[in-house]
Amino acid sequence: MNQLEGSVAIAASSAAEPSDLLLALRGSGQALYIGLAEDAYIIASEPYGVVEDTPMYLRLDGDVPADPSNPASRGQVVCLRGNVAGSAAGIERWAYDGTALSVSSSELDTAQITTRDIDRGDSPHFLLKEIGEAAGSFRKTLRGKLIDGAHGLEVVLGDAVLSPEMRAGLADGSINRVIAIGQGTAAVAARALVEGLAAFAPRTNLRVTSALATELSGFDLADSMTDTLVIAVSQSGTTTDTNRTVDLVRARGGHIVAIVNRRNSDLTDRADGVLYTSDGRDVEMSVASTKAFYAQIAACFLLAAAIADVVAPGGSTDRAEVLESLRALPAALEATFALRPEIARAAHDVAPSRRYWAIVGNGANRIAAEEVRIKLSELCYKAIACDGTEDKKHIDLSSEPMILVCAAGLQGSTADDVAKEVAIYRAHKAAPVVIASQGEERFSAALHVISVPVVHPRLAFVLSAMVGHLFGYEAALAIDAQARPLREARAAIDEAIAAGLAGDGEQLLRGLQPTIAPSATRYFDSLRSGALDGNLEASTASRLASLWRYALGIASLESYQLEHGKVGTPGVVLEDLTIALSSAIDELTRPIDAIKHQAKTVTVGISRSDETLMQVPLVREVLVAGAPRDRLSYTTLRTLASLEPLVDEVLGYTRYAIEGQVDSNGHDEATVVIVDRGGLGRELRSRTVDHPELRGTKRWVAVERTVLVAKGRSDGRTVIIVPEIKDGEPTGLALLHVRLREDLALPVLRSVLQGYRNRYGAIKHAVTETEPVFRDDLLVDVPVIDLMTEPVNDLAERWRS
């Protein structure tokens, strides 16, 4: 297991012990839950997987080291004993370094969630059911938090959301930065926090931004983030990239508030405060975070109002109006959902025939546009552009796309300008569909205008998003419907072949012709009208059209070889027609609730492991010595982290620059010069002052580009030599003068040896050359410096009797 890098979540069984199950978890990228059911263990990646059988579970922790001073103890390995399945006694657990970790009853959690009846009821798809439930989810999120007060509506969020410490930090300015993060649709919803604070606290020194979680962890982390409040938005609470970023922010002293749907999720365990969307118990099905998106918007506005109450107690002039509109928004969402027939007509009219699509919006409607782009691309298998409304005319109108314009809530000259943009789209043969507020009559150039209820302009984008969701749903249905006649024809062929009808291929084909002819007619009608242009590949369409003609007897089989490269027989035609039908069906099928490439199944997520390694004290000592961060390879960082438990104290350092090319065979004139010293390094005279040639252990490290623990031949001092690498070439060495610990426990010592040049494996293999077994318990009897520096074969003699 120690040879694997990154996040790991593995289950394994052995034929030798078939009733037992082994599990391993390391890193923050995955999760494992062990449910304790009656005579059974239930293993799942989140609590929802176990609660059908048991409310009690153990959550494995793959991220926090069992020994904070030993990074190698990060991660857990578990053996589940089948003969006592369902009990805590049957769970044996170890840290990654081999330290035994008992399972106490206090670690067993009782789920606060239960499985819901996820029957889609009267809805033909889960997605439609969830869009229909969006208003209720929004209303649940507001319940008990947006209340009537003495002076109008008030937002009340308890200390479990914003702790007294966080409120105090916001009030006195020690927390002066707020960053809303997420991934995918949650990142889009997080932008509503920025919109909310712009509405409730327009004049404040608080810096408020939104970012993808991966952008924050990759490019915007500071050594200290005690001045930062991060709002992490996630539907499931298990989003790898978000959770990893939260870990990195917390390690730097940052404050975390989670907006999340699921109780008992990984994100809730990491956060200082949690604001649950809906009631924290919703089961989200089908396309990710559709219903949750609306609840996340509600939560972001609630949290924005609560923060504004702390940093800008006076509030804004339109605060009351925004809160009133927030409370009324569920009714507006229900009214918008009722527009589904009108939205369906627009989608069926323009979506199937257009190969290129785009979504545009300005102001808060950019949030809606980004969200709709995500859902339409997932539902309809399209790569969709998303641009600012006024910017679109400068970008790709030459593709003559279908353009969905999010324009709800626009007023005055801004609405006038957008109307002009729509006219430009239409003049360039695009197909604009506009989402506007009721009573708006400026968009006559659009092919369709969907009118939504009037709400506060700050919140109208939410209705644009719902229309976009419904439009995507109906567009997917319209595209999928084009495959229906093809499915009918394929089913008829399959049934005839399965029935084993008497006669040869010619008779079979002749008997099928009356059945498949109507399907062919509908196909050719769609082909002539251009309805298939948007989603069927030209090669597929032409091949299928040709095969229809041969199957129906319109074209002679004599010319089949010329067109298709093989001799035409009735059996060959039927086989090729079935293949072509299947290809066309695949290109047109839009299953709605089953996404072709679901993100959860193809995404591992970030590790940002080097960021964690940068916090290891030994690594920081190397950086303090002056080694540039970008010249420490990942292998070097991992080795230093493994050596950390071994080092009792860093006494000083000497840093060298390598001048000249280093040849692995020694055919060079490379030299080293001292560029800096510190601590003990200042007191010692270096050989390189008089003899600057790169030689000895320093050359060895430069050639191997690997960290080396060494002992001075003349003075017996222990050093760790670290290579600095640029573009694959050694440019310098950082030499640390260290004192080693002599009292390491066996599991820690084993972990150190495994992480340093795989000394553990080398010693074991050397011993077992002559001995039947390797007793690693004898490692503790050997001086640590000898284990790290003596030749392996010399060490092996200590095990030989």
The pLDDT value given to residue 595: 61
Predicted pLDDT at 481: 97
Q: What is the CATH number of domain 609-799?
A: 3.30.450
pTM of the model: 0.75
Residues in contact with 205: Cβ distance below 8 Å, sequence separation at least 6, in sequence order: 173, 176, 311
Give the residue-averaged pLDDT of 292-298: 95
Instruction: Identify whether the C-beta of residue 254 lies closer than 8 Å to the C-beta of residue 272.
Output: no
Q: How far apart are CA 478 and CA 170, in angstroms?
A: 50
pLDDT(603) > 50: no
Q: Which of 336, 305, 337 is nearest to 322 (CA)?
A: 305
Residue (of 120, 131, 122, 65) closest to 94 by Cα position: 65
Distances (CA, A) of 639 to 619, 646, 647, 707, 720: 10, 12, 13, 7, 11
Rounded mean pLDDT, 113-135: 75
What are the angstrom distances between the C-alpha of 573 and each of 388, 506, 543? 50, 10, 12
The per-residue DSSP string of 65-88 comes to -SSTT-GGG-SEEEEE-GGGTTSG
- Phi/psi zone of residue 341: left (φ > 0), alpha (ψ -120 to 50 degrees), beta? alpha
Task: Establish whether domains 128-331 and 339-481 are of one fold.
Answer: yes
Residue range 206-215: average pLDDT? 96
Q: Residue 307: pLDDT above 70?
A: yes
State pLDDT tens for residues 767-788: 999 999 999 999 999 999 999 9
Range 339-481: architecture per CATH: 3-Layer(aba) Sandwich (3.40)
Domains of the chain, residue spans: 8-110, 128-331, 339-481, 484-588, 609-799
Report which secondary-structure segment, H or E, holds 651.
Answer: strand 647-659
Region 10-37 average pLDDT:
88
CATH 3.40.50.10490 correct for 128-331: yes
Supply the DSSP symbol for 100.
B
User: What CATH fold (topology level) applies to the domain 8-110?
Assistant: Glutamine Phosphoribosylpyrophosphate, subunit 1, domain 1 (3.60.20)
pLDDT band of residue 62 (cuts 50, 70, 90) is confident
3-state secondary structure of 501: coil
Model confidence over 162-171: pLDDT tens digits?
Answer: 999 999 999 9
